Amino acid sequence: MMPEIGHFALIIAFCLTLMLAVVPAWGAWRGNATAMALAPTLAVGILVFVGISFACLASAFLQDDFSVALVASHSNSLLPPIYKFAAVWGNHEGSLMLWALILALWTAAVAVFSPQLPLLVLSRVLAVMGAIGVGFLSFSLVTSNPFARLLPSTPVEGSDLNPLLQDPGLIIHPPLLYMGYVGFSVAFAFAVAALLGGRLDASWARWSRPWTNIAWGFLSLGIMLGSWWAYYELGWGGWWFWDPVENASFMPWLAGTALIHSLAATDKRGLFKSWTVLLAIFAFSLSLLGTFLVRSGVLTSVHAFATDPARGMFILVFLAIVVGGSLTLYAFRAPTVSSRVTFAWVSRESLLLCNNVVFLVATLTVLFGTLFPLIVDALGMGKVSVGPPYFNAVFVPLMVLLVPFMGIGPLSRWKGDDIARWRSELIIPALAAVACGLTFPLLNAPYNIWVALSVLLSSWLCLGLAQDVWRRLRNASSAARGLRRLTPGYCGMLIAHLGFAACVIGIVATSQYSLERDLRMSPGDTQELAGYDFKFVEVTQVRGPNFIADEARVVVSRDNAIVTTLLPQKRRYLAGGSVMTEAAIDPGLFRDLYVAMGEPVGNDGAWAMRLHYKPLVRWMWLGAIFMAVGAFTSVLDKRYRGQRGVVHSDSKAALHGA
C-alpha cells in the first residue's frame, strides 16, 4: 500500500509543479496578484508531497519490501538500517527522487525565506523553479518510476547494495552534492526571472547572491566528500581521478566560482550584469549536463549505473530545452539590461574579471576534455579517453595564473586604484612570500620546485589577506572595535580564500611527496616507508553484519616506538559474493599512513599489500571545508537581510529622532 501512496503523492506533486510553472507566470504576465500569490503556497505544497513520496520509498527500503523492484535489486535484509536508508539514493531511480526532494526543498526555501522580495519577482522565480520541477518529476514518473512492483513473483531476499556504496560516504555525499547541484537552479531561476522582467538591477544581484553562495558552499562540501570517500574506499589512495563524473560536479563548481565573484561586482557596482546572468545560466546548465553524463552512461565512469537509452534521451532533450530556451531569452533580453558603468583598469573590477576569465577558461577546458571522447566517437574516429595528464597540464597553469591576482584582490579598491598604492601595501607580503618559498625546506622537507612554488603562492595569498586585515585594523581606534567592524561578508571571503591556500598546498604537497609501495608481504615481514616501519603481524578472519573479512594486523612504528596499529580488511559480502578492499588509515594533520590489502599470493600466507605515506593530504579537504564555511558565513551579512533590515534601522532612527 505504501508504495502506491508514494507513487500517488509523486503524481500530485507533479501536478502541483505544473501549476507552479504556469499559474504564477501567467499572473506575473497579466498582473493578476491572486495568481502570483499562489506561488509560495504551491511551492510548500510540492515539498510536502515530494516529501511524502520520498518517505514512502524510504519506508519500503527500511521494511525490506522486496515486492518493490527497486528495493529488491538494491537492498538486502542483512544490510544495516542506516545503509538501507542510504540505499534509497544509491541507484538511478532513487537518486532522482533525492534530486526532486532537494529541488522541492530549495523551491520552498525561496518561497519561505524571501519576504523582502517583491511578489512579481518571487512569482517569476518560483515559476521557473516549478518548470524545472516539471522536467525532473516527469522524468522520474515516465522513465524511472521508483515504485514499480514485482508482483506476483516477489523475491524473498533482495540482491545486495553494491558494497562500494555501503559506507558512511553514501549517507552524506549525494545529499550535499545535490544541495549544491540543485542549488544553482535558484541562481538560474533568479537570472531567468530577471530576463523575463527585463530588469536587472543591483537588488537582483543582492537577492540571488546569498542563495548562490549557499549552493556553492554545499557543492564544495559535496565534491570534497566525494574525493575523501574515493580516497579511503577505492583502496588505492587516489583522491581525484578526473573521472567524467567528477568533472561533471567540478564544472558547475568552477562556473559557480566565477558566478559568485561576478555577482559581487554586480551587487556592489552594478557591473557585468548580462555576464552574470549568462554565468548563472551556464552554471545550472552544467549541473544538468552533469546529470546527463552520469545518468545516461555514455561515458565510462565509476558512477555509471546500468543504463537505458530512453533516460539519456530524456535528459538530453530537457537539457536542450533549458539551455536553448534560456539562451534564446538571453539573446532577446540581454541588450536591454546591459550596464553603463565604467571602471579603471587598475581596480578590483579588473581583478574580478581576471578571476572570471580564468575560471571560465578552466571550465571550458575541463568540459572539452570530458566531452572530447564523445565527440571523437560521434565522428567515428575511434574510441579515445582523455587521461589525468591532459587535465593536469591545462588546469595547473591556469590556477598558477590565478593566485597572483587573488593576492591583490582583497586589498584593491572598487572603481579605480593606484599601482603605487598596491606596491607600497604589498611589498612586504611579496618579499615575505618569496622568503617562505625559499626557506620551507627548513621544515624538514626535501626541496621540490613545485612545492616551493605552491608555498610561495599560498603564502602570498595569506600574507596579502593578513596585510588587508591589518590595514583595516590599524585605522580603527582599538583592535577589538576594528575586528567588530569586519562584516560577515568580508570574513567569509577571508575564510574561503585561506581555504583555497590550504587546498593549494595540500594538493601540491600530496602529489609531490607521496610515497607508495605495492609489496608482497608474509606474516612477520617488516617494510620501511618514509621512516615508518610497517610490520605485517597476521591475518585473521572477522565477521561483520553482512560480510566476512580477512583482516590484517599491521603495526606501524617509528624509531622503535609504536605509532599505531592498522587493520585493513578484504571483505566478502554474503549476499552478492562480491569482494571489497577496506583500507586502514592513520589520519593526521601533517601525514596519513594508509594500508590496503591486495590479494593472497603464493602458498605461505603472503599478501600483496599497498603502503602509502601521504603528507598534508588532509589540507586539501580542510581547505574545501573552509571554503564552504566561508560561503555560509558571507550569507550572514546584513546587506542580504534586505528591506527588513532597512525598515528596522529606519524605525530605530525614528525612535532616536523622537
Cell of 106: 530549495
Q: How many CB atoms lie within 10 A of CB 535?
A: 17
Residue among 290 and 373 whose Cβ is closer to another protein: 373
Q: What is the dihedral of CA 37, 43, 46, 48, to 10 degrees?
A: -100
Among 8, 29, 85, 305, binds another protein (CB under 8 A): 305
**Eight-state DSSP code of residue 152:** S
157 or 650, CB closer to another protein?
157
Stretch that binds another protein, among 263-271, 459-467, 586-594, 595-603 (CB under 8 A): 595-603
What is the helix (H) or strand (E) element at residue 319, kind and residue range? Answer: helix 309-333
The least distance separating another protein from the CB of residue 346, rounded to whole angstroms, comes to 12
Rounded Cα gap, residues 617 and 628, in angstroms: 18
387 part of the interface to another protein, by CB under 8 A: yes
Residue 398 contacts another protein per CB under 8 A = yes
Interacting residues of 113 by C-beta distance below 8 A, sequence separation 6+:
none
Find the shortest distance in angstroms from Cβ 376 to another protein: 8
Should residue 244 be labelled a site residue for another protein when binding is judged by CB under 8 A? no
As beta bridge partners, residue 582 has 569
Quick check: 519 binds another protein (CB under 8 A)?
A: yes
Using CB under 8 A as the binding rule, whether residue 32 contacts another protein is answered as no
**Of 482 and 600, CB closest to another protein:** 600
Residue 599 sits in the site that holds another protein (CB under 8 A): yes
Q: Is 371 in the site for another protein (CB under 8 A)?
A: no
Q: Quick check: 297 and 306 in contact, CB under 8 A? A: yes
Q: Other CB atoms closer than 10 Å to residue 418's CB: what's the count?
A: 13
Query: Which range, of 28-36, 58-66, 365-373, 505-513, touches another protein by CB under 8 A?
Result: 365-373
Q: Pick the closest to residue 265 from 188, 334, 353, 387 (CA basis).
A: 353
Least separation in angstroms between CB 276 and another protein = 16
Of 380, 383, 560, 656, the one binding another protein (CB under 8 A) is 383
Q: Is position 382 an interface residue for another protein (rule: CB under 8 A)?
A: yes
Least Cα distance to 579 among 604, 555, 599 occurs for: 599
Among 385, 424, 439, 526, binds another protein (CB under 8 A): 385
Among residue numbers 207 through 236, which ones bind another protein (CB under 8 A)? 235-236
Per CB under 8 A, contacts with another protein among 616-645 are: none
Question: Site for another protein (CB under 8 A): how many residues?
Answer: 49
Binding segment toward another protein, per CB under 8 A, in 202-210, 280-288, 302-310, 622-630: 302-310
Which of 81, 52, 85, 305 lies closest to 175 in space, CA to CA? 85
Closer CB to another protein, residue 392 or residue 540? Answer: 392
Query: Grid coordinates in use for 148?
Result: 514499480
Which residue among 596, 620, 627, 631 contacts another protein (CB under 8 A)?
Answer: 596
Which window, 194-202, 203-211, 248-256, 571-579, contacts another protein (CB under 8 A)? 571-579
Of 393 and 653, nearer to another protein (C-beta) is 393
Q: Which is nearer to another protein, 476 or 601 (CB)?
A: 601
Q: Closest separation between CB of residue 264 and another protein, Å? A: 18
If we measure between CA atoms, which residue out of 53, 51, 52, 71 comes closest to residue 61?
Answer: 71
Q: Are 53 and 96 in contact (CB under 8 A)?
A: no
Distance CA 427, CA 370 (A): 41
Which range of residues in 94-102, 115-123, 203-211, 377-385 is near another protein by CB under 8 A? 377-385
Which cell goes with 531?
621512516
297, 437, 499, 630: residue in contact with another protein (rule CB under 8 A): 297
Q: Is 361 in the site for another protein (CB under 8 A)?
A: yes
Q: Is 112 in the site for another protein (CB under 8 A)?
A: no
Q: Which is nearer to another protein, 400 or 483 (CB)?
A: 400
Of 30, 520, 644, 648, the one binding another protein (CB under 8 A) is 520
Is-contact 518 608, C-beta < 8 A? yes
By C-beta, is 347 or 633 nearer to another protein?
A: 347
Give the residue carrying C-alpha cell 615481514.
525
d(CA 13, CA 11): 5
In sequence order, the 6+-apart residues with CB closer than 8 A to the CB of 427 are none
Considering the complex, what minimum distance in angstroms separates the CB of residue 397 from another protein?
6
What amino acid occupies position 647? Answer: V
- Cβ(228)–Cβ(169) under 8 Å? yes
> Residue from 372, 414, 422, 490 that binds another protein (CB under 8 A)?
372
Interaction pattern, residues 341-360, with another protein; x per rule: CB under 8 A: -x--x-------x---x---
Minimum CB separation from another protein for residue 598, in Å? 4
| Nearer to another protein among residue 4 and residue 518 (C-beta) | 518
C-alpha cell at 266: 554586480
| CA 122 from centre of chain | 26
Reference 433, options 472, 413, 469, 404; nearest CA is 404
Of 383 and 474, CB closest to another protein: 383
User: Three-state SS for 477?
Assistant: coil
- Cell digits for 516? 607508495
Measure the N-to-C terminal CA separation of the chain; round to a whole number of Å: 65
Considering the rule CB under 8 A, would residue 574 count as an interface residue with another protein?
Answer: no
Look up cell 521494511; give the residue: 63
Angstrom distances, CA of residue 380 to CA of 286, 296, 298, 316, 384: 25, 20, 15, 20, 11
Q: Residue 370 Cβ, how far from another protein at the closest point, in Å?
A: 12
Cis-peptide into 587, omega within 30 deg = no
Contact mark string toward another protein, 601..620, x via CB under 8 A: xx-----x-x----------
Backbone φ and ψ for 160, nearest 5 degrees, come out as -80, 165
Shortest separation between residue 647's beta carbon and another protein, angstroms: 38
Q: Which is nearer to another protein, 230 or 322 (CB)?
A: 230
Distance of CA 623 to the CA centre of its chain: 13
- Answer yes or no: are the C-beta atoms of 550 and 570 closer than 8 Å: yes
Candidates 144-152, 296-304, 438-446, 545-553: pick the segment binding another protein (CB under 8 A). Answer: 296-304
| Grid cell listed for 368 | 572539452
Produce one character per residue of 319-350: b if its CB has 16 or more CB atoms within 10 Å, e if not. beebbeebeebbeebbeebebeeebeebbbbb
Q: Which of 151, 306, 420, 589: binder of another protein (CB under 8 A)?
A: 306
Closest alpha carbon to 254 in 369, 390, 356: 356
Which grid coordinates are listed for 83?
A: 545503509
CB of 394 to another protein, least distance (A): 5
Nearer to another protein, 85 or 372 (CB): 372
Smallest gap from Cβ 576 to another protein, in A, equals 6
Residues in 156-195 that interact with another protein by CB under 8 A: 162, 164
Residues contributing to the site for another protein (CB under 8 A): 162, 164, 235-236, 297-300, 302, 304-306, 342, 345, 353, 357, 361, 364-365, 368-369, 372, 382-387, 389-390, 393-394, 397-398, 518-520, 576, 578-581, 596, 598-599, 601-602, 608, 610
